[in-house]
Amino acid sequence: MSLLIVRLVVFVLLFWVGFRLWQFWQAKQQPNTHLTHQNKGGSETMVRCAECGVHLPSTSAMKAGEHYFCCREHQASFEKE
């Protein structure tokens, strides 16, 4: 009976090691999109919309004077005030 338990434990350990190796191999096969995107784009300055307060990249924002806006509607609303 104890030999059967030892065989079962060895089988479970081998299965676990094989599964972990398979997971490691799968992770190596998939590109890390976060790191790839970060390396391609580099760092970008984030600015705050003067109307709603949302933060967005400076290249996507609209600048009017010294203020940044996320859309034309927020720019018009801010200028009315």
Q: In the prediction, which pLDDT does 79 show?
A: 87
Domain ranges (residues) in the chain: 1-30, 42-81
Q: In the prediction, which pLDDT does 74 show?
A: 92
Q: In the prediction, which pLDDT does 32 show?
A: 59
Q: In the prediction, which pLDDT does 36 show?
A: 47
pTM (whole model) above 0.85: no
Give pLDDT tens digits for 17-68: 999 999 999 888 876 555 544 445 567 889 999 999 999 998 889 888 889 9
CA 81, CA 66: separation in Å to the nearest integer?
16
Cβ neighbors of 81 (< 8 A, separation 6 or more) are: none
